[in-house]
């Protein structure tokens, strides 16, 4: 079974660490379902890359893909036979995008950071790019004109540290990634001045018939196994690395309702604007 995690989930995480800490879960599930799994990372940063990823799932070249919920919503419109297997459940609140400043900053809302220095980072998740672009565009200003400078840092932690040290005034980072990096670094705590509506969590998706073609019933076997991995040392280690609590069924968390709400707010056409923002000088 070919399992691929899409690159947008890799913000602030090296490929090496992602493979190393996910491998125990992959090996555990393979043993439990008695079927070999091949896990790797699918690189991609553009709308075309996402469509290509979806096409590979459609064609059965990838049996299980792991994407953000909003990406699944877009993919499903183009590939309606795609289904969610399980959804990741974060241990705290819903996933939200946020624009954050140093606790001592005088800014209290988006207007307060206009004309200031924004820190971003490589592989910034798509929903963070969407929120940032839409929030600024809703005020009739293009992203490059809203901030004095926009500097991309190598990692999310570097961007957080830039704000903390005064090199930058604000950073765009979602709640899951932010909590991952300050969990053991409370001195780096920042304050949000703009916060999005909740986004759907990461989801494992595929075409059940493609998976079941490998072995009858394999889709449900895999789904059931994933719901129990939190009770094992290997599963707990992998979930803790990704700052997730467990895998749950989509029906258990109003997942589909949240997906529909966010893709209505952020239609697939918003990808074109994000692509333009990425190419800014």
Q: Domains (ranges, CATH) in the chain?
A: 2-91+199-265 (3.40.190.10), 97-197 (3.40.190.10)
Tens digit of pLDDT for each residue in 217-241? 999 999 999 999 888 888 787 777 7
Mean pLDDT of the chain: 88
User: Exposure string (b/e) for 95-116, b if CB count within 10 Å is 16 or more?
Assistant: bbbbbbbbeebebeebebbeeb
Question: How much is the pLDDT for 93?
Answer: 57
Structure tokens at 75: 């993919």
pLDDT at 158 > cutoff 60 = yes
Q: Whole-prediction pTM value?
A: 0.84
Tens digit of pLDDT for each residue in 60-110? 999 999 999 999 999 999 999 999 999 988 765 578 999 999 999 999 999
Question: How much is the pLDDT for 176?
Answer: 80
Q: How far apart are CA 6 and CA 97, in angstroms?
A: 19
Residue 275 — very low, low, confident or very high, per pLDDT cuts 50/70/90?
low
Question: How much is the pLDDT for 258?
Answer: 92
Determine the average pLDDT of the residues in 167-186: 87
Q: At what angle do helices 218-226 and 15-33 cross, to 10 degrees?
A: 120
Question: How much is the pLDDT for 5?
Answer: 93
Question: Rounded to whole angstroms, what are the CA distances from 221 to 6, 32, 34, 86, 215?
Answer: 23, 9, 10, 12, 10
């Amino acid at each position: 079974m070919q399992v691929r995690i899409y690159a947008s989930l890799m913000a602030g995480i090296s490929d090496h660490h992602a493979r190393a800490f996910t491998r125990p879960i992959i090996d555990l599930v393979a043993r439990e379902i008695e079927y070999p799994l091949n896990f790797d990372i699918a690189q991609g940063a553009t709308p075309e890359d996402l469509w290509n990823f979806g096409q590979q799932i459609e064609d059965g070249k990838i049996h299980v893909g792991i994407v953000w919920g909003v990406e699944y919503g877009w993919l499903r419109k183009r590939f309606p036979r795609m289904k969610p297997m399980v959804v990741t459940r974060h241990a705290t609140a819903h996933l939200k995008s946020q624009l954050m400043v140093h606790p001592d900053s005088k800014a209290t809302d988006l207007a307060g950071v206009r004309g200031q220095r924004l820190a971003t980072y490589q592989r910034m998740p798509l929903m963070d790019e969407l929120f940032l672009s839409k929030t600024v565009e809703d005020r009739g200003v293009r992203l490059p004109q809203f901030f004095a400078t926009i500097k991309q840092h190598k990692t999310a932690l570097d961007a957080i540290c830039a704000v903390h040290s005064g090199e930058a005034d604000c950073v765009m980072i979602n709640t899951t990634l932010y909590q991952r990096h300050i969990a053991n670094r409370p001195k780096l705590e920042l304050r949000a001045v703009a916060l999005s509506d909740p986004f759907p969590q990461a989801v494992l998706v595929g075409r059940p018939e493609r998976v079941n073609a490998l072995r009858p019933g394999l889709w449900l076997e895999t789904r059931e196994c994933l719901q129990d991995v939190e009770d094992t040392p290997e599963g707990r280690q992998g979930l803790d690395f990704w700052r997730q609590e467990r895998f749950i069924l989509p029906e258990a968390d109003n997942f589909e309702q949240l997906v529909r709400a966010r893709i209505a707010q952020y239609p697939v056409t918003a990808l074109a604007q994000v692509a333009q923002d990425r190419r800014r000088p």
